[in-house]
Structure 1
Amino acid sequence: MATDQGMNQSVEKAAAVLATFLDGRGDLRVSDVAQRAGVGQSTASRLLATLEQLEYVERDEVSSLYRLGPAVISLAGAAVNQHPVHREARQHAQALACSLGLGANVAVRRGASLFYLCNFEGALAPKSYTLLGQRNPLHATGIGKCLLLALSPQERRELLPELPRYTQHTLTTHAALDADLATVAERGYAIEREELALGRACVAAPVLDGSGTVTAAISISGPLSAIDLPNREVELGRKAIEVADSISIGLGYIGPSHPVGVGTGR
């Protein structure tokens, strides 16, 4: 038992070391990793050396700084390829980004945040990084609002007791969020305009599984000037719903078994 406990602690420490790289802010020194992971510098150095041998991290020969290695990419690729939503949504999202020239993103809920499974950029919404595997708040994003349709108002309050402010446009009270979600459920799509980051907006629609439950969402996103919500909101909303419906059908959804309304997004 003592040996098993020691091995478990080693795995936890190794996972903590890998997690220090998740913010993507650049290569790290051993001391940086030790501080972020909450371990001693000698422990961090030993774990990094082992992870380097296994190709989970790699070290720059000139600077001696560490970054994530190719083994992590292999695991990430295998993980997303095994996810049914990713498999069904990937081609739809890619075609959507290509046809509109905007961003197309697919995400599911993981606890109190959304988790991106797909991310494609069109010519009008370029990014120098991928959203795949990243998380964002539910209440301040179009995708997140769609995912929150699966929860009752009470469940939303238990999941998100506080609604942090990211810009002056962020919804920070549950009363405001409830009202917004009622509109989302009625028209079938969500809007986010500068609620998470200034200068950006998106339109999103929920994806349903075979039981009719919101299991994911897809968004069309980009700079305010490119997405042009004053003139294109209805057009983009209909497009998001159309693509979300195609993905839902692929996941086994065959239509509502009850009247259209809150909780269906249709």
Structure 2
Amino acid sequence: MQQDRQFVTALARGLEMLAAFRPGDGALSNQELARRTGLPKSTVSRLSYTLTQLGYLQSEGDGGPYRLGLALLALGSTALAGYDARAAAAPKMLEFALRNNVSISLALRDGSDMVYLETCRSQARVSVQLTTGSRVPLATTAIGRAYFAGLPQHERDALRPLLAQRYGADWPQLETRLEQAAADYAARSYTESFGEYEPDVMAVGVHLPSLLPGQPAMALNASGPAFAFDAAAMRDAIAPALLSLRQQIVPNCL
């Protein structure tokens, strides 16, 4: 990228700073931001000052620590509004979560991760706590595997180098699991991740094809705590219900 004359390095570094914040973070110091981004602390200090002046960060004192600023809310709301599938699916997702006592999420791919566009939870006291904007890995989650499995073969093949780069020495084993997930999906139209991403989370997922021209494919998952849902319950009750929900959202989906 550095040899690309069209690539603005300063802008990229500023975006790296914003991307360094994770769900659940409090305020972060320049030192912590430098550690997470790998940027020099002097660069981080200049970027945090600039981003604060523009409203993308908020400083809790002179020179930090910093929280994400309100200017990002406007960007996030605008981005979410661009996905019509989210608005169409949300009411049905909430009804599904309440009826089946699970959490349900809609996500699309960003790099080697899946990013949640919408999440609905049941009223159960204990539920999966991921929210809109959360990122989860593609290779080890039901929602990521469903996204992958539902893609045409050439698109799956195009993703492999990216996943191989992310997972390094672990990739051959994960690739085998993804291929098995794709084979299972072809046979039963859903994927599973039982305790692989989080030891106490059971999840099944389905692929959602692009609903409108120009919009990306997505995926849905339903998840619940392992103490409440064993593998049989997920396969016999939740997976068929999730397939039915997909049919409601995308009537012509096979």
- TM-score normalised by the shorter chain: which range applies? 0.7 to 0.9
Q: Distance in 2 between matches of 1:220 and 1:190?
A: 11
Percent sequence identity over matched residues? 24
Select 1:161's aligned residue among 141, 159, 164: 164
SS of residue paired to 2:228: helix
Shift of 1:184: 1.8
Conserved? CA contact 1:34–1:40, under 8 Å: yes
Shift of 1:244: 1.2
Shift of 1:62: 9.1
Change (3 A) 1:210 1:20: closer
Change (3 A) 1:117 1:20: same
Q: Tell me the equivalent position of 2:147.
A: 147
Q: Tell me the equivalent position of 1:198.
A: 199
User: What aligned pairs does 1:28-177 form with structure 2 within 5 A after superposition?
Assistant: 28-61=28-61, 64-124=64-124, 125-126=126-127, 130-148=130-148, 149-152=150-153, 154-155=157-158, 157-161=160-164, 172-177=173-178
Q: Distance in 2 between matches of 1:7 and 1:141?
A: 33
Shift of 1:55: 1.8
User: What aligned pairs does 1:169-188 form with structure 2 within 5 A after superposition?
Assistant: 172-188=173-189
Shift of 1:39: 3.7
Conserved? CA contact 2:48–2:57, under 8 Å: yes
Shift of 1:159: 4.8
Q: Tell me, yes or no, if structure 1 residue 229 matches structure 2 residue 231.
A: yes
The aligned amino acid for 2:164 is: P
Give the aligned CA root-mean-square deviation in angstroms: 3.3
Change (3 A) 1:138 1:13: closer
Answer with 197-206 or 5-14: which moved more: 5-14
Deviation digits for residues 48-83 of structure 1 (CA, Å, limit 9, x no counterpart): 222223221112249941111111122112111111
Shift of 1:160: 3.2
Deviation digits for residues 214-239 of structure 1 (CA, Å, limit 9, x no counterpart): 92111110111223332352221111
Q: Distance in 2 between matches of 1:56 and 1:78?
A: 15
Conserved? CA contact 1:118–1:131, under 8 Å: yes
Q: Distance in 2 between matches of 1:229 and 1:8?
A: 49
Q: Distance in 2 between matches of 1:77 and 1:97?
A: 23
Conserved? CA contact 1:209–1:248, under 8 Å: no
Q: Distance in 1 between matches of 2:216 and 2:17?
A: 34
Unpaired runs of 5+ residues, structure 1, are 256-265
Deviation digits for residues 127-153 of structure 1 (CA, Å, limit 9, x no counterpart): 55x432232222211111211121427
The aligned amino acid for 1:66 is: Y
Shift of 1:31: 2.3
Conserved? CA contact 1:114–1:144, under 8 Å: yes
Q: Distance in 2 between matches of 1:43 and 1:113?
A: 27
Q: Which has the larger radius of gyration?
A: 1
Shift of 1:100: 2.0
Q: Distance in 2 between matches of 1:144 and 1:135?
A: 10
Unpaired runs of 5+ residues, structure 2, are none
User: What aligned pairs does 1:13-24 form with structure 2 within 5 A after superposition?
Assistant: 13-22=13-22, 24=24
The aligned amino acid for 2:127 is: P
The aligned amino acid for 2:99 is: S
Shift of 1:85: 2.5
Tell me the TM-score normalized by structure 1. 0.77
